[in-house]
Chain A
Amino acid sequence: MTNDLDIFVGNTTLIDEDVYRLWLDGFSVSDAVTLRLRSGILEQTGATVDVLQSDTMDHYRTFHMLERLLHTPSKLIHQLHFQIPPSRQAMLIERYYAFDESFVREVLGKKLSKGTKKDLDDISTKTNITLKSCRRQFDNFKRVFKVVEEMRGSLVENIQQHFLLSDRLARYYAAIVFFANSRFETGKKKLQFLTFEDFAYCAEQMIENWTLGAVDSNVDDMDVDLDKEFLQELKELKVLIADKDLLDVHKSLVCTSLRGKISVYNEMEANFKNLSRALVNIASKLTHNKDVRDFFIDLVEKFIEPCKSDKWTLNDVRLFLTQYMTSAHTVDAFRHQALWDRYMNTIKSCLLKMYHD
């Protein structure tokens, strides 16, 4: 005897969080049943495999029907089809838009296009995340990107408003959108030690300081694109390295204040000009899209790696960058104080976040 049809419909939609996770993870019904069996649920409840199978199917069907609504979370909130308590709605949305660290590291900064979607097979194999789950995560990125791409106002708030995500998740999505838009390279081997969280932090700093929206809160502002004028102006900073006097003054100011405070004083003194050149060069090149993309590689290659090879501690880096930044203000001939702060504040935060093993 086979059951052709087997359904359970509650007035309040029944949601099993464990099954939801399995579904989100892209497991087929039979895999999900196997996994649930392993969890020992039968022993706890005295149910049979048939019951488990039927239950799993039922939940999968529900999730499948809900998926359409999850694509537009505000619809899920206002729809009448499924009666779901608000706390559960929030949970459904949050989990649906959650993503795997290993997946996002593969996709971060890539163009969210069909081409990338075709590579999901490889990503799936590499990360051991099911293709189905990869697709969901990728589609989420793309969907959020599409909606907020052309939108004015705060990126995080736009995302929160349209996708009803928690603050944390909305910030992560803002980072993903920001990275995808500027196509920052994050996948190179040298960058592998960086976590998504590191990038998300950097993205937040850049959005807060370097985009159009950062200057004033005019509604026309866009958070997604870097402030082109600002990038142009950054060229002015070149004087810090191009003018030999300025460079020397700057160096002496930094060295004076750091003497005895920093554990790698000699290395710092020896390397100062290189490091300063690196930081200012990165700034001046940001007008080219190509160099924007390589921003993180440059930071790592030109700054982090040299410091690491000299065994700077995080504290050394912090002391150096702080002094490096503030000392520039006392260099009389240097006139771009505001520009310098806008640039260096972000660079400092990013470097400190990225300076780890």
Chain B
Amino acid sequence: MPGKLKVKIVAGRHLPVMDRASDLTDAFVEVKFGNTTFKTDVYPKSLNPQWNSEWFKFEVDDEDLQDEPLQITVLDHDTYSANDAIGKVYIDIDPLLYSEAATVISGWFPIYDTIHGIRGEINVVVKVDLFNDLNRFRQSSCGVKFFCTTSIPKCYRAVVIHGFVEELVVNEDPEYQWIDRIRTPRASNEARQRLISLMSGELQRKIGLKVLEMRGNAVVGYLQCFDLEGESGLVVRAIGTACTLDKISNTAFLPACNSPSKEMKEIPFNEDPNPNTHSSGPSTPLKNQTYSFSPSKSYSRQSSSSDTDLSLTPKTGMGSGSAGKEGGPFKALLRQQTQTALEQREFPFFTLTAFPPGFLVHVGGVVSARSVKLLDRIHNPDEPETRDAWWAEIRQEIKSHAKALGCHAVVGYSESTSICEEVCILSASGTAAVLNPRFLQDGTMEGCLEQRLSWQPGFFSIGSEKGEVDFFPQNQDSSSLLGTEETSPLGCGFCHIPYDELNMPFPAHLTYCYNCRKQKVPDVLFTTIDLPTEAMVIGKGCLIQARLCRLKKKAQAEANATSISNLLPFMEYEVHTQLMNKLKLKGMNALFGLRIQITVGENMLMGLASATGVYLTALPTPGGIQIAGKTPNDGTYEQHISHMQKKINDTIAKNKELYDINPPEIPEEIIGSPFPEPRQRSRLLRSQSESSDEVMELDLSHGKKDAFVLEIDDTDAMEDVHSLLTDVPPPPGFYSCNTEIMPGINNWTSDIQMFTSVRVSRLSNINLTNQTLNKNFNDLCENLLKSLYFKLRSMIPCCLCHVNFTVALPEDEVIQVTVTAVAITFDKNQALQTSQVPAAEKTLQRASTDNEEQLQFPLELCSDPLVSQPFSPAKEVLENASSHTGIPAAQRAASLDKASPLAEGHLRHRSIPSCTNSSVSVVKMTPLSFIPRAKITKYLGIINMFFIRETTSLREEGGVSGFLHAFIAEVFAMVRAHVAALGGNAVVSYIMKQCVFMENPNKNQAQCLINVSGDAVIVVRESELEMVPVQPSAPVSQPTSAGGDVTT
């Protein structure tokens, strides 16, 4: 009996009228955990009931504490008939189970009904008393912290990064279980919500156990998804990176976490005292081609790809061709260590996308694998072997691809599925990389022990003595100790190829690194990770998307799976070509945060790739794009071609200007040309699938830089070129990226706006061909972006960060695109290096002058402490405010007679409207791992919520748009309420993982499922930090006493 859960129901407000006769409600509350239920008294005839209940106590196993959600149901008492449900609140009590997170959950929660949406609010206080349990066979994993953030959380230090953890659980989907097929919407929705909540809890607990086994104490980059497989069941799966984290005790001196980009310099050179010492690694950069594409041709049970094992033989210990050069022996050594460190792991994968300095040694390129499967009923939910085996297969393939690139590890790893009827595409992708072994080692590994000891002084002890000035003190000594040939102060180490240049896994064009001039680099680099902080970039980055549709025949079962399998390689190839073309058109040479989504529908496949293009100084300047026609001697045609060519060249020039890409000219001699045949590259990409027959085009490469040749040999290619040129750049003042960091911008203001935008487009009356589809899809995405720019125009100058597109094909000829991103205003006028103080002042001024124009909360900066500091001593004031507005604070309820709150309000005279002191605290949300100009002082726990909303009066609720608009707003509201109840004021790493929308206009019905997650945190604004240097965690526990406090 290791835990006691205590729940108190304080009050309700804004309840719906349940009794038409009296226009009032007789509300009571059921509190359920596991199989135990408590009830409050009925509070008669009020829309603002004050239950002020006793503490309901549940004595439960900690296993249940982890799995079960707390269910609170608000009902209307009816003497003569069944009680009517008003709505429910599910509270995940997981954050109360580890000591460093929240201590109490207390606040107003929206009461949610799957049919009616939010119906009033309820004030609840939840506490947990945990007893120590030393049972080593325990099934619970209380105490393991979970983070959605895909980097080491800001107030922690990574002691060891253990590696990949994964788990999945399956169950029957209640939606498909109703035997009589008479569906009762509310019951089935609630059953599903509860089931997914339970499964998430179980999954998290199981992953926690694995982490404990690995001797870790946290999961970072936790990504949980569910697959609605329809009749074959429901799969909830999760991946993450197990770590051992140390809390950094004295957080006050930490560099503000606001913008990692701050640490980035456009051209750092010597001004930076301590930047990028790592990259101690040898010379092993990556290859542009990056792409080991191998959609597994298998479907159903057939074992997966054949190409896997070929490259399994590690190129590792081989010392590689460059061994003869400077770093040779070291490289081998390093490899061996890493190898050992990683070998014990089945999958050396990391879901992180940003790393402690020095962790990432080299990046090999993107690896991805897909597999098409036929779904069948899961017969035994307790042994989800099939699903496990499918994923194991895919992961194995990824691993082998990474090996082929000379890498031992995969970083920025993620998995996804796309399901249509009984066909399912499983996808996994990541970035092959070579990692510094010191972060991976456990003391147990002999081979590493020595190494570890040797650098321990340089690392651990410094770390603890200095009070952690940084997550990882720069350990120059370690790199020199390790005998690294160069500490690469130029931050180019990660670009160097990890594979053997004489034995390249694919044809590639290598040059000497433009920074250090010592190691080889590829001409283009694709990755799924964030831009490393040490990376040197010229100019700004930009969002680059490749969009693609392919028609497929409707088919059943195996035939369907086969045709999808056959289409996949072509799609991947074309997506890649598009990305490459667009990258060149932008004058850039590297992609970060690459995410390729392939979505399957009844009669088509969609591919959408998003990434952030940048210009890395270490890589060669990209050549232009050359157009080649196939039919010479045709005057008009030639003219057309040259016209197009001119347009392309103009666009490249314009883009270079737009993104400030003006690399210094480097004389050819200095760089040298390591390869005698530099032009060979120009046809590389095409050569993958076509046999490059015509050599003549190579002559078109102009000047010293090899060009990328586009061949216009048919209308298809024509379309390609056109579509290249139709991508409109964002309007002036706007930038966009899909990564955490936008290179070239680092003077963020605190003005942020997170948003979700959804569009569903019907392809009716369209002659369905690949071209028209492509065009429509392209227009859909472009228009969506244009719309965003327009809506957010008042935030200019502004950058859309972490732009995340998801495509779904809910039915025939219907495309759904969902975008979530955060817009952050930056200060254009401010010089890059100026200190933060003037910056804050500046914002302040602006905020006070034109706050009418502001989208965000400019007042936070200057006035209104009530809003921005929910836990400030202003509580009294707040209470007053609440009573004035007719909503008495809960504590006073007992002492007051039961006069209606309205009447009570009247007794108090006041002359100032209370609009100015709102009692609802602000909760910021962002998909990024930080809040600009603020510092995260505490992580309160993971938020992982699943909601279903359904309507049978679609038209009355404003049609599909009105329905979904209200629902998404409700989801945001519920996330904010939970965070506020935990004592937090922001959600970072927020993600909407699923938004499944179905409609049946004929029946006036619609249904939507949404799954969101993120990390609840407390942030303190920089300006406050300066005034109050130490912001201890004490205030956080205050809400305990503030049962009915309106701050929540």
**Contact A14 B753, beta carbon cutoff 8 Å:** yes
Question: Can you give 14 contacting A-B residue pairs, CB < 8 Å?
Answer: A1-B762, A2-B761, A8-B787, A9-B755, A9-B969, A10-B753, A11-B976, A14-B791, A65-B966, A74-B914, A80-B977, A83-B920, A86-B864, A86-B916
Q: How far is the CA of A4 from the CA of B999 in the complex (A)?
A: 11
Give chain B interface residues in 773-810, CB to chain A under 8 Å: 776, 779-780, 783, 786-791, 793
* A77 contact set on B, CB distance < 8 A: 885, 914-915, 918-920
- Most chain B beta carbons < 10 A, residue from A4, A73, A152: A4
4 new A-B contacts, CB < 8 A, other than A12-B855, A157-B911, are: A8-B755, A78-B918, A79-B14, A85-B857
Whole-angstrom CA separation of A62 from B962 in the bound complex:
9
A residues in contact with B118, CB < 8 Å: 80-81
Closest to A50 in B: B783
Given contacts A55-B790, A78-B887, contact A11 B108 (CB under 8 A): no
A4 to B1000, CA, bound (A): 12
Which 6 A-B pairs rank lowest in CB-CB distance, beginning with the nearest? A5-B760, A90-B915, A164-B913, A10-B755, A11-B754, A9-B968
**Distance of A54 from chain B, by nearest CB (Å):** 5
Specify which chain A residues have a CB less than 8 angstroms from the CB of B373 in the assembled complex.
none
Of the residues A47, A52, A85, A166, contact of B913 by C-beta under 8 Å: A166
- The minimal Cβ–Cβ distance linking A68 to chain B, given in whole angstroms, is 11
Contact (Cβ within 8 A) B976 A80: yes
Best-buried of B118, B757, B780 by chain A (most CB within 10 Å): B757
Q: Are B761 and A164 in contact (CB under 8 A)?
A: no
Min CB distance B193 to A, Å, is 19
Indicate whether A122 reaches chain B with its CB closer than 8 angstroms. Answer: no
Chain B residues positioned under 8 Å from A158 (CB to CB): 906
**In the assembled complex, which residues on chain B have CB atoms less than 8 Å from the CB atom of A157?**
909-911
Query: A82: CB under 8 A from chain B?
Result: yes
Q: Is the CB of A12 within 8 A of B857?
A: yes
Q: Are B760 and A3 in contact (CB under 8 A)?
A: yes
State A226–B852 Cα separation when bound (angstroms). Answer: 41
Given contacts A9-B965, A83-B972, contact A78 B783 (CB under 8 A): no
Q: Which residues of A contact B776 (CB under 8 A)?
A: 1
B87 to nearest A CB, angstroms? 13
- Could you say which residues of chain B place their CB within 8 Å of the CB of A154? 909
In the complex where A4-B762, A83-B922 touch, is A12 in contact with B884 (Cβ < 8 A)? no
B121 contacts partner chain A, Cβ-Cβ < 8 Å: yes
Chain B hits for A51, CB < 8 A:
783, 786-787, 790
Indicate if the CB atoms of A160 and B14 lie closer than 8 Å: no
Q: Chain B's nearest CB lies how many Å from the CB of A37?
A: 13
Q: Mark interface residues in B918-962 (1 if CB within 8 Å of A CB, else 0).
A: 111011110000000000000000000000000000000010111
**What sequence of 0s and 1s flags, for each residue 847-888 of chain B, a beta carbon within 8 Å of any chain A beta carbon?**
000011011111100001001000000000000000011110
Q: Which residues of chain A (1-45) have a CB below 8 Å from chain B?
A: 1-14, 17, 45
The total of Cβ contacts below 8 Å across the A-B interface reads 206
Contacts of B764 in A (CB 8 A): 1-2
Q: Do B925 and A11 touch across chains, with their CB atoms under 8 A apart?
A: yes
Nearest chain B CB to A170 CB, angstrom units: 8
Given contacts A46-B731, A80-B973, A86-B864, contact A1 B968 (CB under 8 A): no
How many whole Å from B105's CB to the nearest CB in chain A?
15
Task: Please give the distance in Å from A160's CB to the nearest CB on chain B.
Answer: 5
Which residue on A lies nearest to B796, using beta carbons?
A45
- Inter-subunit contact A161/B910 (CB<8 Å): yes
CA distance A58 to B852 in the complex (A): 20
A165 close to B (CB within 8 Å): yes
When the two chains form their complex, are residues A5 and B969 in contact, meaning their CB atoms are under 8 A apart?
A: no
A52, closest chain B residue (CB): B790
CB-based contact A78/B960 at 8 Å: no
Q: Among B786, B911, B965, B972, which residue has its beta carbon within 8 angstroms of that of A61? A: B965
Nearest CB of chain A from residue B486's CB, rounded to whole Å = 45
Contacting pair A11 B918 (CB below 8 A): no
Complex: how many Å from CA A258 to CA B861? 61
Residues of B within 8 A of A263 (CB): none
| CB <8 Å contact, A80 and B905 | no
Asked if A152 and B906 make an inter-chain contact with CB atoms under 8 angstroms apart, the answer reads yes
Contact status A4-B760, CB under 8 Å:
yes
B700 proximal to A (CB < 8 A)? no
Q: Distance (Å) between the CB of A85 and the closest chain B CB?
A: 4
How far does the alpha carbon of A10 sit from the alpha carbon of B792 in the complex, in Å? 10
How many of chain B's residues touch chain A, expressed as a range? 35 or more
- Nearest opposing residue in chain A for B969, CB measure: A9
Q: A357–B959 Cα gap in the complex (Å)?
A: 52
A78 and B965 alpha carbons, distance in the complex (Å): 20
The listed residue (B780, B856, B906) touching A151 by CB distance below 8 A is B906
A256 at the interface (CB under 8 A from B): no
| A231 contacts chain B at the CB level, 8 A cutoff | no
B920 touches A80 (CB 8 A): yes
Distance in angstroms between the alpha carbons of A14 and B754 in the assembled complex = 11
Q: Which residues of A are found within 8 Å of B851, using beta-carbon distances?
A: 87
Q: At the interface, yes or no: A75 with Cβ under 8 Å from chain B?
A: yes
B766 at the interface (CB under 8 A from A): yes
| Cα-based distance from A5 to B977 in the complex (angstroms) | 27
In the complex, which of the residues A11, A57, A78 has the most CB atoms of chain B within 10 Å of its own CB atom?
A11
In the bound assembly, the distance between CA atoms of A301 and B920 in angstroms comes to 54
- Please tell me if B763 contacts chain A, counting CB pairs below 8 Å: yes
Count of chain A residues with Cβ under 8 Å from any Cβ of B?
61
Instruction: Contact check, A86 vs B859: say whether CB atoms are below 8 A apart.
Output: yes
Interfacial chain B residues near A166, Cβ < 8 Å? 913
Query: Are B762 and A2 touching (Cβ within 8 A)?
Result: yes
Determine the chain B residues whose CB is within 8 A of the CB of A48 once the complex forms: 783, 786
Do residues B885 and A90 form an inter-chain contact, with CB atoms below 8 A? no
Query: A residues within 8 A CB of B885?
Result: 74, 77-78, 161
Name the residue on A nearest B967 (C-beta).
A9
Q: Does B349 contact A (CB under 8 A)?
A: no
Q: Which residues of B contact A80 (CB under 8 A)?
A: 108, 110, 118, 121, 920, 973, 976-977
Q: Mark A86-97, 1 if CB is under 8 A from B, else 0.
A: 110111010000
- Bound complex: CA A210 to CA B701 (Å): 94
Q: How far is the CA of A211 from the CA of B201 in the complex (A)?
A: 65
Which of B763, B958, B965 is most buried by chain A, counting CB atoms within 10 A of its CB? Answer: B965
Whole-angstrom CA separation of A2 from B760 in the bound complex: 8
Q: Nearest CB to that of B818 among chain A residues?
A: A7
Give the chain B neighbours of A93 by CB distance below 8 A.
915
Q: Decide if A81 touches B970 in the complex (CB within 8 Å).
A: yes
Interface residue? B332 (CB, 8 A): no
Chain B residues with CB under 8 Å of A219's CB are 907
Closest to A147 in B: B902
Q: Are A4 and B761 in contact (CB under 8 A)?
A: yes
The CA-CA distance from A2 to B961 in the complex, in Å, is: 13
Chain A residues with CB under 8 Å of B855's CB are 10, 12, 14
What's the least CB distance linking B326 to chain A, in Å?
51
A51 to B784, CA, bound (A): 8
- Contact residues of A between 150 and 178, Cβ < 8 Å to B: 151-154, 157-158, 160-162, 164-166, 170
Task: Say yes or no: is A261 at the interface (Cβ < 8 Å to chain B).
Answer: no
Judge if A64 is at the interface, Cβ distance under 8 Å. yes
Q: Contacts A45-B793, A78-B885 hold; do A9 and B110 have CB atoms under 8 A apart?
A: no
Residue in chain A with minimal CB distance to B886 = A74
Task: Identify the closest chain B residue to A65 (Cβ).
Answer: B966
Report yes or no: B917 in contact with A86, Cβ–Cβ below 8 A.
yes
Among B753, B763, B787, B918, contact of A1 (Cβ-Cβ < 8 Å): B763
Query: What is the minimal beta-carbon distance from A80 to any residue of chain B, in angstroms?
Result: 5
Contact partners of B779 in chain A: CB under 8 A: 1
Chain A's nearest CB lies how many Å from the CB of B570? 24
Q: Are A160 and B913 in contact (CB under 8 A)?
A: yes
On whether the beta carbons of B780 and A8 are closer than 8 Å, the reply is no
Q: Does B191 contact A (CB under 8 A)?
A: no
List residues of chain A with CB within 8 A of the CB of B925. Answer: 11
Q: Which residues in chain A, 306-349, are within 8 Å of chain B measured between CB atoms?
A: none
Chain A nearest CB, measured from B749 CB (Å)? 14
Q: Give Cα A112–Cα B349 distance, bound, in whole angstroms.
A: 71
Which interface residue of A2, A161, A170 has the most chain B CB atoms within 10 A? A161
Q: Is B13 interfacial (CB-CB < 8 Å)?
A: yes
Taken together as a complex, chains A and B put the C-alpha atoms of A5 and B793 apart, in Å, by 22
